[in-house]
Chain A
Amino acid sequence: MSEPESDTEARQPPAVDRSQYILAAALLAVGVYTIIDARGLNVGFGDPVGPRVFPYLIGTGMVVLAVLLAIATARGDVAQAEAGEDIDLTTPPDWPTVGKLVGILVLNLLLVNLLGWAITGALLFAGSAWALGSRTPLRDVLVGVVLAVGGWYFFYALGVPLTPGILDGIL
């Protein structure tokens, strides 16, 4: 995670990172919502501070930061994306893969109570491996089943029975 310091950023060509405006807008929205939400709180008698002050401070800070970020972005400030062992920042982001993974995670949370962890967990593993480019679907499903059923029994042994779902009575 070697971040070049801010002075090297200045030397880069002044390309405006437009998506940072989206981040600034999101921060602004969160800050404003925090303040509005806090306005609805009641302050009791004999409570000199009350539940509002802290959210007001945080919301205001967030709004200020959003504005500062927007200004910095307009001046050509560019984000330094995080590097890592398996990360190759020279390629453009691979949105289809991220989309598939998010879809699989959503499916898992929708189906887990219906089908049970032993099934959705296995699908989660095999599906994610497929989305990430694995070419051994059969092996992935097998590993997924072992992990998911194993995980179910592990928590069962700890006294935390996970939802069995449609496998109720079989596990």
Chain B
Amino acid sequence: MDTLNLLADGLQSAFTLENLMYAAIGVLLGTFVGVLPGIGPAMAVALLLPITSGLDVTQSMIIFAGIYYGGMYGGSTTSILLNTPGESASVMTAIEGNKMAKRGRAAQALATAAIGSFIAGTIGTLLVAFFTPALAGQAVKVGAPSYFAIMLLSLVLVTSVLGASRLRGFIGLFMGLTIGLVGLDLSTGQARLTGGSLELADGIGIVVVAVGVFALGEALWTAAHLRRKPVDVIPVGRPFMGRDDWGRSWKPWLRGTALGFPFGAVPAGGAETPTFLSYITERKLAKPDAGFGEGAIEGVAGPEAANNASAAGMFVPLLALGLPVTATASILLAALTSYGIVPGPTLMTDQPDLVWTLLASLLIGNTLLLLINLPLAPLWARLLRIPRPQLYAGILFFASLGAYSVNQDPFDLALLLAFGLLGFAIRRFGIPVLPLILGVILGPLMEVKLREALDLSGGDISGLFNEPLAILCYVLIVLVLVAPIVLRRFGTPAQVLEEKETVR
């Protein structure tokens, strides 16, 4: 087994004392930041990006792997112990998890979430290790027209799947694409949308956009609507599960993993859909006395596993194609690029050490997460009581510090503020964040592929359609755009929506 050998090599290089230390730092930091209310995994990764400056690429990837899984774990703690979940992926966990906590079963809810995340994350990471090389091997043969079509398809999918309003999804997407235009045109070196500013000539970094939109935007938006009454945090001891809980949890873990991984690997809005599907599945399969709606452990085990499996699945398109499908993946891609590494199908062959060490550290981080965090759960729970003025002041502080530390230029702080205000506006107008972030990072890549494809055909538009894969993508795009309109005529989605409503 070639893959197993490579993974074993990766484990070996990740298993130095120094690298284990970086993994532990990443896990602890990720959990710490992820537990804080109002901070999801994407914001955690964006906020913590600057601390890796000065490290080499492998070490920073190890830290990131830890931060990513740690942030996910922290998010589930928040949604179980607080009544209101912070991000869409935790909505389903919160439904049963918070009810369990209120009935005095917080320890079991946290335990099934942690162990389920560990199992799903481990299986998911192993699947990434098996699928990515094969996919990358195929992707090397993919030409510019198909690449362009694949990226277009991902953008259309993400934009159409997320949220209630497709119009707003596309508005977010085009905002992102416009931001991506800023800077010098890659082939002619002419400045676009810079308004003559030299500082903008290098383009706008995805990190400034992400920190501005996620961190500053969230802090300002929360400031405008801050809940003045104290939050209700449920105290918790050390997580554990009884025999009965294990018996009820293991099948939902595996089913959640099976649902989450494929959804994570395709651009379908990350964990929102699979966690929802997992919740529905478990509720349908559960015995009537399982107590769904009053705190059924299956309703925590399934969605949490789905959440983490989809977090792992994200690495397949990222490593095999250089294609990010979530906001976190976009930031990781930007981090890789900043080390001069070209993400794409050749990454597996150009940087095998990096890729396998990264995958190995995902496995290690996942294990550390379980070992370190189960005993620490009561401590993390206390973080939820952090006074809100200081919490959001801290977010503003660290966001500014991160943006300033890159170039030590106050202009970056101004840019950060501008994107913070944009983040405020999109929250006010209900515009989803993910299409915006993906637009910023995929827009420039798409333009490169578009021009490559059309250069080959001498500007003839047929150059975009001369590969079967590209045509398949366009057919799918048309289906995605047209199908909902047709289905609405026949009234099918109404039932689905009704189902979604009754769950919430």
Would A108 and B413 count as touching, CB distance under 8 A? yes
Closest to B90 in A: A1
Interface residues on A, range: 35 or more
| A143 in contact (CB, < 8 A) | yes
Residues of A within 8 A of B231 (CB): 85-86
Would A132 and B190 count as touching, CB distance under 8 A? no
| B393 in contact (CB, < 8 A) | yes
Chain B, 437-493, CB within 8 A of any chain A CB: 443, 446-447, 450-451, 454-455, 457-459
Least Cβ–Cβ distance between A113 and chain B, in angstroms: 6
**Distance A128 CA – B389 CA, assembled complex (angstroms):** 7
Would B219 and A48 count as touching, CB distance under 8 A? no
**Distance A94 CA – B420 CA, assembled complex (angstroms):** 16
| Contact of A48 with B218 at beta-carbon distance under 8 Å, contacts A54-B450, A108-B413 already known | no
Would A101 and B410 count as touching, CB distance under 8 A? no
| A119 in contact (CB, < 8 A) | no
| Contact of A125 with B85 at beta-carbon distance under 8 Å, contacts A62-B174, A62-B178, A112-B410 already known | no
Q: How many B residues face the partner with a CB closer than 8 A?
A: 86
**Distance A33 CA – B216 CA, assembled complex (angstroms):** 26
| Contact of A49 with B454 at beta-carbon distance under 8 Å, contacts A55-B181, A87-B222 already known | yes
**Distance A1 CA – B433 CA, assembled complex (angstroms):** 12
Would B167 and A69 count as touching, CB distance under 8 A? yes
Closest to B409 in A: A113
Least Cβ–Cβ distance between B72 and chain A, in angstroms: 16
**Distance A93 CA – B425 CA, assembled complex (angstroms):** 12
| B382 in contact (CB, < 8 A) | no
Least Cβ–Cβ distance between B318 and chain A, in angstroms: 24
**Distance A4 CA – B164 CA, assembled complex (angstroms):** 7
**Distance A62 CA – B37 CA, assembled complex (angstroms):** 34
| Contact of A51 with B192 at beta-carbon distance under 8 Å, contacts A23-B429, A93-B224, A98-B220 already known | yes
| B353 in contact (CB, < 8 A) | no
Chain A, 66-104, CB within 8 A of any chain B CB: 68-69, 72, 77, 79-89, 91, 93-95, 97-98, 101-102, 104
| Contact of A81 with B428 at beta-carbon distance under 8 Å, contacts A88-B225, A158-B53 already known | yes
Least Cβ–Cβ distance between A133 and chain B, in angstroms: 5
| B171 in contact (CB, < 8 A) | yes
| Contact of A85 with B85 at beta-carbon distance under 8 Å, contacts A117-B401, A134-B387 already known | yes
Give the 4 A-B residue pairs with the shortest CB-CB distance, closest first.
A48-B459, A128-B393, A132-B389, A109-B413
Interface CB pairs A-B, < 8 A, 27: A1-B85, A42-B190, A48-B454, A49-B450, A49-B454, A50-B188, A58-B174, A58-B177, A61-B174, A65-B171, A65-B174, A72-B167, A79-B428, A82-B221, A82-B427, A86-B37, A86-B388, A94-B226, A97-B223, A97-B226, A102-B421, A113-B408, A128-B397, A134-B389, A151-B401, A154-B51, A162-B405
